[in-house]
Structure 1
Amino acid sequence: MPETSPVVLVTGGSAGLGKIIAKTFLNAGYRVMIVGRSTERLQNAADELDGGDRLAIATCDVSELAQCHELAEQINTQFGRLDTLVNCIGTSDRGVVTELTADRLKQLWQDNVLTTLHCSQAMLILLEQSHGSIVNIGSLAGKVGARYLGGYVTAKHALTGLTQQMRLEWRDRDVHVALVSPGPIRRPDAGQRYAQHNSEALPESASAPGGGTKVKGLPPETVAAAVLKCAQRKKTDLVLPGHLRCLIAIGNAFPRLGDWLLLKFSR
């Protein structure tokens, strides 16, 4: 690929949604670097993606700021530029507030917020040079409260606020910051990952995608296409599925009605 072709860095790109996002950007003509903590998983993903010299891997713990700065040097050395950063690392949860511990909340905050903060800070200069974009992967749980999601709601609300603050502060540096907030995403183990929860306070429905919300699972390809749209068209805030944005707005304007709707759309 010519040196002028755009470059994207995808954290959490060794599996799941991150890998689908990497594939989407490869198909759109980008040069791609995927980042994760396991070299073996990254290599397996690279073999599957088959991106040739347009695809690179980098082993990095992006919760560590020093490693993020090393990662910025690596991508600058290898590709000479960075046009888009996709922060796709995150951890979900199941539980009730009465059993939520400080240690668990700290871990969720680190995985969902601190990783985004550190990686964005480290890549800022490169993105400023390219007038590039940052796309953070949020969640519907970052727009509304929901039952049975443990500390995940708190962490994703923090990410929503951080994203807007970054967007407002970095617009003068010509770096665009966007948020994609999807509902439950289809995956092979949907409904099984949380089946063995340890709390008697949780109903069986809590192990279902979205904690039992009555929202159809989204194809990961749909979410990946929205991420690409944010990067290329400078979209600011996308909610998936789109019709839920109206319900979110109604809930914010009329909290009692919002609570009723949340209870109605969850089991």
Structure 2
Amino acid sequence: MSTKNKTALVTGGSKGIGYGVAETLLKMGYKVAVTSRSQSAADKAAEKLAGHGEVIGLEADVRDYDSQKKAVDQLIAKWGQLDVLIANAGIGNFGSVEDLTVAEWNDTIDTNLTGTFFSIKACVEALKKSEGYIITISSLAGTNFFAGGAAYNASKFGVTGFTQAVMLDLRDKGVKVSTIMPGSVATHFNDNEPSEADAWKIQSEDIGELVGDLLKMNPRTLPSKIEVRPSRPPKK
């Protein structure tokens, strides 16, 4: 499969899973735009990734449709088309429903769920033209609920269901849609600082490898929902 002149947009691509996916796509030959709420963070990530291929950093907030559409328009103005969207940007607010604030609930839903909708909505016409691929990053928390996960579970259950509906909406338009549902990943998520203690977890480059495998799969086959988890988590 030729990736010459193919492009990808990775939301929340300045660190963590998004950064790992961007790195893989660049090594595959894609031109990649990584987004962040901060232009400086996006530029810093693009500078670090530049050794792997052609990459730009764009400021975009997935909670704002116009901001997301502007990023898509900037990518198309630079490279002429969009072939892949990785809807990755996400946050986590955790706590009992008794303690969870309205602001924490809204921020989680607006970023993780509405942000995924805005990201796809902003890209859908371009991806129909290129018969491209949408991959959303959900979570095992999108099928397994847990105490203290009210907001996060709601957002990721939503992302999982939303993505599957979008898959049915768009597959007859030539657009493939999948969601990846990781378990524990060694990232900066929820203020974690990755260290040797996280070596047992899925690594961001592992998710990148999975994205690459999806993009290389024969187009007649669509893995629409993929669960991945650490092979050997520590015993409790």
User: TM-score, normalized by length of structure 2?
Assistant: 0.86
Query: Does the Cα contact within 8 Å between 2:37 and 2:61 map onto a contact in 1?
Result: yes
Are residues 1:229 and 2:217 paired?
A: no
1:148 alignment partner in structure 2: 148
- CA distance in 1 between partners of 2:3 and 2:224 (Å): 28
- CA distance in 2 between partners of 1:51 and 1:131 (Å): 28
For each residue in 1:126-147, what CA deviation from the matched residue of structure 2 results, as whole angstroms up to 9, or x when unmatched? 1001111100000010011122
2:228 alignment partner in structure 1: 240
Q: How does 1:160-239 map to 2 (within 5 A)?
A: 160-187=160-187, 193=192, 216-233=200-217, 234-239=222-227
Partner AA of 2:127 in structure 1: L
* C-alpha deviation, 1:238, in angstroms: 1.0
Query: Does the Cα contact within 8 Å between 1:63 and 1:110 map onto a contact in 2?
Result: yes
* C-alpha deviation, 1:4, in angstroms: 4.3
- CA distance in 1 between partners of 2:235 and 2:112 (Å): 24
1:22 alignment partner in structure 2: 22
**In 2 relative to 1, CA 183–64 (structure 1 residues): closer, same or farther, beyond 3 Å?**
same
Q: 3-state DSSP class of the match of 2:78?
A: helix
Q: Percent identity?
A: 27
1:126 alignment partner in structure 2: 126
For each residue in 1:99-156, what CA deviation from the matched residue of structure 2 results, as whole angstroms up to 9, or x when unmatched? 2333322210011011111111111111001111100000010011122334111111
**In 2 relative to 1, CA 144–53 (structure 1 residues): closer, same or farther, beyond 3 Å?**
closer
- CA distance in 2 between partners of 1:192 and 1:71 (Å): 26
Partner AA of 1:179 in structure 2: T
After superposing on structure 2, the runs of 4+ consecutive aligned residues of structure 1 that deviate more than 6 Å are none
Query: Does the Cα contact within 8 Å between 1:3 and 1:79 map onto a contact in 2?
Result: no
2:85 alignment partner in structure 1: 85
- CA distance in 2 between partners of 1:236 and 1:33 (Å): 24
Query: Does the Cα contact within 8 Å between 1:82 and 1:132 map onto a contact in 2?
Result: yes
Query: Does the Cα contact within 8 Å between 1:135 and 1:230 map onto a contact in 2?
Result: no
1:136 alignment partner in structure 2: 136
Query: Does the Cα contact within 8 Å between 2:142 and 2:158 map onto a contact in 1?
Result: yes
- CA distance in 2 between partners of 1:182 and 1:3 (Å): 26
Query: Does the Cα contact within 8 Å between 1:7 and 1:82 map onto a contact in 2?
Result: yes
Q: 3-state DSSP class of the match of 2:186?
A: coil
- CA distance in 1 between partners of 2:191 and 2:135 (Å): 29
- CA distance in 2 between partners of 1:193 and 1:76 (Å): 34
- CA distance in 1 between partners of 2:107 and 2:135 (Å): 22
Partner AA of 2:74 in structure 1: Q
Partner AA of 1:119 in structure 2: S
Structure 2: stretches of 5+ with no match in the other structure: none
Higher relative contact order, chain-length normalized (CA < 8 Å, sep 6+): 2
- CA distance in 2 between partners of 1:118 and 1:4 (Å): 28
Partner AA of 2:63 in structure 1: S
- CA distance in 1 between partners of 2:165 and 2:91 (Å): 22
Partner AA of 1:155 in structure 2: S
Partner AA of 1:121 in structure 2: K
Q: 3-state DSSP class of the match of 2:56?
A: strand
Q: 3-state DSSP class of the match of 1:25?
A: helix
Query: Does the Cα contact within 8 Å between 1:136 and 1:179 map onto a contact in 2?
Result: yes
Query: Does the Cα contact within 8 Å between 2:135 and 2:179 map onto a contact in 1?
Result: yes
Over aligned residue pairs, what C-alpha RMSD do you find? 2.9
Query: Does the Cα contact within 8 Å between 1:68 and 1:122 map onto a contact in 2?
Result: yes
